[in-house]
Structure 1
Amino acid sequence: MKYRRLGGSGLKVSEIGLGSWLTYGDATEKDTARECIRYAYENGINFFDTANAYNRGEAEKVMGEALKEFRRSSYVLATKVYFPMDAGPNDRGLSRKHIMEQCDASLKRLGTDYIDLYQCHRYDAETPVEETLRALDDLVASGKVLYAGISEWTGAQITDAVGIGKRLGLRPLVSNQPIYNMIERYIEKEVLPVSEREGLGQVVFSPLAQGVLTGKYKPGQAAPSGSRAANDRTNFVINSYMREDVLACVQKLEQLAGEIGGTLSQFALAWVLRQPGVSSAIIGSSRPSQIKENLGAIDLVLTDEVLARADEILSEIEGFAPLR
């Protein structure tokens, strides 16, 4: 395993992180989830990501229980706050009340005294940014949180938040968690440059485009039984990728990956990690064998020629063309 600094902080996270969205506490049984987390940890993954909203806290419980067997200081535990956790008007968002209450609730579900990285799951237009940042800073001062980050904020929102934090003398945000993969590249235009300038590292989710960049889905064929695309409860997350032109390009990318001695998933992860502003790529896993394959991305070398060929293939996808 290789490790990178999380933005401008001194915290080091594994290049591959393990997440729990749509898996732990829901689709994946607890015993299987524990096996995946144990395998990840034993193979050098030290960054584990979850959120209070993932299956209404159940994912946090599973993650916390599985990590109890390891020394607390040996891993980096991340969770998030923003999405509704109940029906009340204050049971959502980034108000001081919701942040403070949900941090305590997350600590209880995770079974730990502190959260390494506490992230604002989305931007809250109804709460002053100053209120949100002060609440996060107070949590860090209290020791309940070590570092604070955000998720899916725009370049302008990041710039605004960093400016407010500096003016108030608050501890800086250290990370942003956006979607980023070979198909969805919006962060390259503004978010990456702004984040690198302001010291925020990217811990990207969906680097395999919800499984599309594994090559399991073929153009003109039904989704494999048991796959996310075939599951009525989860297929909504990959609908935008399940197009014939996208799947046709994925087949070409898989062939290119084979030419350089890797699988498509390894190629896709190595492609994401080529960005110096990316600190970690968060994968999901329902079995240890998936993690084993994904870890092969760490040593996969992508030359300029290979990257250019990948861009040429991706340019065929309408609406997802690489940024020039």
Structure 2
Amino acid sequence: MITALFGAVESGVIYAIMALGVYLSFRILDFPDLTVDGSFVTGAAIAAIMIVNGQNPFLATFVAVIAGFLAGCVTGLLHTKGKINPLLSGILMMIALYSINLRIMGRSNVPLLNEESFFTKIEGVWASMGLDNLFNSIGSAIGLGESLPATWSVLFSMIILTIIIKILTDMFLKTQVGLALRATGDNKRMIRSFSANTDQLTILGLGLSNALVALSGALIAQYGSFADVGMGIGMIIIGLASVIIGEAIFGTRTIAVTTFAVIGGAVIYRIVVTLALRVDFLETGDMKLITATIVVLSLIVPKMVDAQKEKSRKRKRQSERLQEATAKGEEEYAATKSDSQSI
């Protein structure tokens, strides 16, 4: 059980990068970008095929990010220059990427079982610094050393990488370009009145979004030691689930809080799925159903809670008004009685 939860947190931190990409397109740009299901696999496919051909895993991961950025830009061009509906633009690019990904891999699945990956490189760095033993010692000290896989360094490294990406995202969204990007998602007509090029901003935003998605795909492929042409199916739902769960639990007061919420939502989502799959009547094939159920609950429950709170506030206001009216009536009655007595 503990091992499963550890793995859920580990993979959740990697998927959080993808969730940040979905947050940029859906929340910041208000663009329903379904390219995610394709660009996630593109990142995985490029990283896998380059590693199999002897390329450095860091270089392979970087090239995957560039490919994801270009895929997002093409979606943006289809919408802004081709005047195609946003939803349809994403669907068209997602379909096109399926064939492109097959071309890249040459087959439907590329195993990486005996290949050097991003994570083996990272583990080697920590080992050379003598920190891998430190991580395992910490696990043993809290009584988890024998229950957990010896991948503390992987988790620690991914937490650092995800936090760095979060901070960079926060900083970017506070720049002039980032503010213009946010304004484009809120009100295109308004930002156009300030002579901003909303087409370029949309293309840039979608490019950055899919770059993060492709990075997550590349890391997941190396983490799971395989890339599969179907591994991106439903990825947009997982990203949305992470965003919705995070926003519902942690709130959206500021950009920094919201991006943290997205990361937290991704980790919580993976933990919930892991726990759900341990229920006897659920199987691995039910994962998509579990995901859909989580998203539905994440959308409905907060609204039900808000509606209940609003009813409570209305009842409280009505009660206060009734008390005020009663008190005012008593005062008027007392004043009238006093006047009649004086007469």
Fold match (TM-score > 0.5): no
Q: Which structure is higher in RCO with an 8 Å CA cutoff and minimum separation 6?
A: 2
**Larger radius of gyration between Structure 1 and Structure 2:** 2
**TM-score, scaled to structure 2:** 0.23
> Structure 1 or 2: larger strand share?
1
**TM-score, scaled to structure 1:** 0.24
